[in-house]
Every structure is written in C-alpha cells, then in structure tokens.
Amino acid sequence: MSPTILIIDDEQIITRALSRAFLKEGFQVITASDGQEGLQKITDQKPALILLDILMPKLSGLELLEQIRQSQIMTPVILMTAYSDAKTAARAKELGVSAYLTKPFSNIDDVLAIAKKCLAG
C-alpha cells in the first residue's frame, strides 16, 4: 500500500495541484482546508507525511504543528507559506519541521522530490 499524504491548505488551487501530482506518483492523498480539520485527519488517518500551510483559518499551521508535536506525533511535516520570515522559520525548526517551502512553487516536481526525501527519512 502506498503512503498517505495529508495536504492541509485553505487554498483549493494549491490543494488540487498537489493532490493531482501526488496521485500521479502513486500516493494516497487526503486533504483538509483548515487546521482543525487537519488535526482530526491526522488523528483518524495517521498519514505518512503532512504538507501544511502556515496561514489558515481556525488554527494556523504553526499552532497545529505545536499540537501534533505535543501529542508525540512525529510524522514528517513540510511547511508551506507565501509569507516567509526568519522568526517563523526558526519556530518551525524548533518544532522539528522536515522542510520549509515558499509558495508559489516554481516547480511541483521539486515539491514531490522533497516529499519523497522526507518519507525516506
């Protein structure tokens, strides 16, 4: 069975593009449009990798990352943001983020390569 990727992003265009790319590569994909829905899917479906937007309604990506790490869930997480700053990147690193990507992505194949590297450990 192929690994499950959870994409948590409130921008449907990003979610759809990433979903298509991962499905084409043979992954199973689940999505969530906000942090609360994402937390529920992490708990229920235990994905192998999480792609997580930082700015979202209800629960930000960093707040969600803090919660999952406090719950001892060590699933690899790739943070995605259109608004990169040093403070956010430093906090993400403290929380054990696997990768930090700036949107818009210049090449979706780069995202796939980073995801595969995170899954390989």
| pLDDT score, position 74 | 94
Number of domains in the chain: 1
Query: CATH code at 13?
Result: 3.40.50.2300
pLDDT, one tens digit per residue, over 53-110 is 999 988 999 999 999 999 999 999 999 988 778 888 899 999 999 999 988 888 999 9
| pLDDT score, position 121 | 80
Q: C-alpha dihedral over 36, 42, 64, 53, to 10 degrees?
A: -90
Q: Are strands 77-81 and 99-102 parallel, antiparallel or unpaired?
A: parallel
Q: Which residues pair with 6 in a beta bridge?
A: 30, 50
Question: Containing domain of residue 37, as a range?
Answer: 4-120
Q: What is the mean pLDDT of the chain?
A: 94
**Is residue 84 left, alpha or beta, with left meaning phi > 0 and alpha meaning psi from -120 to 50?**
beta
